[in-house]
Amino acid sequence: MAEMKIVNMAGAEVGTIALADSVFACEINGAVLHAAVKSYLGNQRQGTQSTLTRTEVSGGGKKPWRQKGTGRARQGSTRAPQWTHGGVALGPKPRLYKSKLNKKVRRIAMTSALSTKVAGNEMIVVDAITAAEYKTKTMAAMLTAIGAGKKTLVVLPAVDEKVQKSLENIPGVKVTLVNTLCVYDILNCNSFVIAKDAVAKLEEVYA
């Protein structure tokens, strides 16, 4: 098992934690990570974009000029795609972009993403993340003290409104709970800040 230091909110080292290799030091599967990110982004899309084809644009019922003898190209309607105010050729129509990953693939994607953060020294384990009041300044000072990057993901073991509300005011910081953690958020941050209790919960599920 790999060991990682634990820091407090002031940035001081207060101990170490042994990380399960099956969760935080497994083989990184790039293909599965790509599939997980693609699935996540696709599931965020509404798929409601739509354009009008030549049959759906109003007008254009009359042939603009006779077929032969004018010296111009033959035209059957002023609503063909090459005309101004005509329909759109091969334009987008409403569709579903959603896709599902099976349980085994989701598990591999999650452990690969977590292992990526450990391998890149982007994971920071904090002893406990607490707040006595709604104070953004306190949370900003904590992130500075522990050396968090510009894009930071903070993972909490349970709901704590004071901590969540205070962190959400800081640009570039996203807060999530350990049971709603997703692969895309992990890969999309520079610093992965996680509470010690949340690490235990992750290992309980994925180890």
Please indicate, yes or no, whether residues 61 and 114 belong to a single structural domain of this protein.
Answer: no
Please indicate, yes or no, whether residues 187 and 110 belong to a single structural domain of this protein.
Answer: yes
- Give the list of residues 6+ apart from residue 46 with CB closer than 8 angstroms, or none: none
Q: pLDDT at position 163, please?
A: 94
Q: pLDDT at position 149, please?
A: 87
**Mean pLDDT score, 113-139:** 94
Please indicate, yes or no, whether residues 167 and 130 belong to a single structural domain of this protein.
Answer: yes
Q: pLDDT at position 127, please?
A: 94
**Mean pLDDT score, 154-181:** 94
Distance in angstroms (rounded) separating the CA atoms of residues 36 and 38: 5
Please indicate, yes or no, whether residues 62 and 156 belong to a single structural domain of this protein.
Answer: no
Of 91, 120, 154, the residue at which a domain comes to its end is: 91
Question: Is the model's pLDDT at 110 over the cut of 90?
Answer: yes
H-helix segments, the chain: 21-24, 30-44, 103-119, 136-146, 161-168, 183-187, 196-206
* Inter-CA distances, 188 with 111, 146, 149, 157, 185, Å: 15, 19, 12, 20, 5
Please indicate, yes or no, whether residues 65 and 154 belong to a single structural domain of this protein.
Answer: no
Please indicate, yes or no, whether residues 14 and 103 belong to a single structural domain of this protein.
Answer: yes
Q: pLDDT at position 108, please?
A: 96
- For 173, the domain range is 2-46+98-206
Q: pLDDT at position 154, please?
A: 96
Please indicate, yes or no, whether residues 10 and 105 belong to a single structural domain of this protein.
Answer: yes
Q: pLDDT at position 3, please?
A: 86
Q: pLDDT at position 131, please?
A: 92
Please indicate, yes or no, whether residues 22 and 106 belong to a single structural domain of this protein.
Answer: yes
Q: pLDDT at position 182, please?
A: 94
Please indicate, yes or no, whether residues 42 and 55 belong to a single structural domain of this protein.
Answer: no
* Inter-CA distances, 124 with 8, 15, 73, 117, 153, Å: 10, 13, 69, 9, 10
Q: pLDDT at position 164, please?
A: 94
- Give the list of residues 6+ apart from residue 53 with CB closer than 8 angstroms, or none: 87, 88, 89, 91
Q: pLDDT at position 207, please?
A: 79
Please indicate, yes or no, whether residues 42 and 127 belong to a single structural domain of this protein.
Answer: yes
Please indicate, yes or no, whether residues 197 and 136 belong to a single structural domain of this protein.
Answer: yes
pLDDT 10s digits, 66-98 = 999 999 999 999 999 999 999 999 999 999 999
- Per-residue pLDDT band for 193 (boundaries 50, 70, 90) equals very high
Question: Is the model's pLDDT at 16 over the cut of 90?
Answer: yes
What's the number of domains the chain is made of?
Answer: 2
Strand-pair category, 13-19 with 2-7 = antiparallel
Please indicate, yes or no, whether residues 22 and 103 belong to a single structural domain of this protein.
Answer: yes
Is this structure's pTM higher than 0.85?
no
CATH number at residue 157: 3.40.1370.10
φ, ψ of residue 22 to 5 degrees: the values are: -70, -15
Q: pLDDT at position 2, please?
A: 78
Question: Is the model's pLDDT at 1 over the cut of 80?
Answer: no
